Amino acid sequence: MGEQPAEEEESGRSTLARALKMLRERSGKSLGQLAEDTSYDKSYLCRLESGDRLSKRPVMVDLDAYYRTGDLLVGLWRLAHREVFKVQYKAFMRYEADAVIMHKYMQVMPGLLQTEEYAREVLSAAPGLLSEGEIEEQVAARVGRQELLHRHPAPNTRVILDESVLRRSAADPEVWCGQLKHLVVSAGQPCIVLQVLPFTAGVHDLMGGSLSLLWQADGSAVAYLEGNKFGELIEDAAKVNAYRLSYDQIRDRALSPPDSVAFVERILEEHT
């Protein structure tokens, strides 16, 4: 379902697999000998070299040490994992663009409700990873996604914000006040329902990440789990239904839409 790389381009996983095989052959080792030397299963090493399996980072650390290649394999592994995330995220965005109903539980400010200034501050938070030009490109892309909330008909959208999102303010007070005002205005749109899950709701099944449930016009649904530096697209109907039940449970504990808007307004008053 994810986009396939062009034929002339080699995927990150293929590059890593080719490097593993090349290093082993240059060392004069067979798969069996490598398995004995490293204590990794021969069939597992074979799957790594064929690209059928993407290992965990410690395996690459061990093989870098074995081949004395510095952090070459770790670097290739990192690129391969990042590529997997990008492919799944692109697929998620395609589902989001066509969704007729969206239910979201967010432990970060949702991109669909971010102001341009807040998005820029968030994307600039990791120093050195993105150039100024790249940041501006990503800001434009993030803000551009919000057009789907203004189409006709717009998707029916319910966003449950964890209270922690509202307690972690932006570094720039003006940016933060602008973001909070934007939330209040957004909650007034006919297609958007905003709720806040307060700390007093206690522990729940979705702690540790954000969840999006997206329904298509044909009634099918997908789930997307997202955390810091990872994302997982779930299309299996049984799993999607399980996450829907988890979502329904926290919706029952969340503040009502009017009380949620009042909650955001109180926080806004604290910062003004």
- Mean pLDDT over each residue of the chain, to the nearest integer: 90
Between CA 42 and CA 33 the distance in angstroms is 9
In this structure, what are the phi and psi dihedrals at residue 105, rounded to the nearest 5 degrees? -115, 120
Q: Does the structure show a pLDDT above 70 at 78?
A: yes
- pLDDT (tens digit, 9 = 90+) per residue, 21-72? 999 999 999 999 999 999 999 999 999 999 888 787 889 999 999 999 999 9
- pLDDT (tens digit, 9 = 90+) per residue, 164-211? 999 999 999 999 999 999 999 999 999 999 999 999 999 999 998 999
* Model confidence band, residue 2 (pLDDT cutoffs 50, 70, 90): very low
For residues 223 and 2, the model is more confident at 223
pTM of the model: 0.70
What CATH number belongs to 99-271? 3.30.870
Between CA 185 and CA 261 the distance in angstroms is 9
**Start-end ranges of CATH 1.10.260.40 in the chain?**
12-81
β-strands 221-227, 210-215 pairing: antiparallel
Between CA 62 and CA 55 the distance in angstroms is 11
Q: Does the structure show a pLDDT above 90 at 4?
A: no
Instruction: Kindly state the percentage of the chain with pLDDT values over 70.
Output: 95
Which tokens in the block code for residue 271?
């910062």
**Start-end ranges of CATH 3.30.870 in the chain?**
99-271
Average of per-residue pLDDT across 230-246: 94
CATH topology of domain 12-81: 434 Repressor (Amino-terminal Domain) (1.10.260)
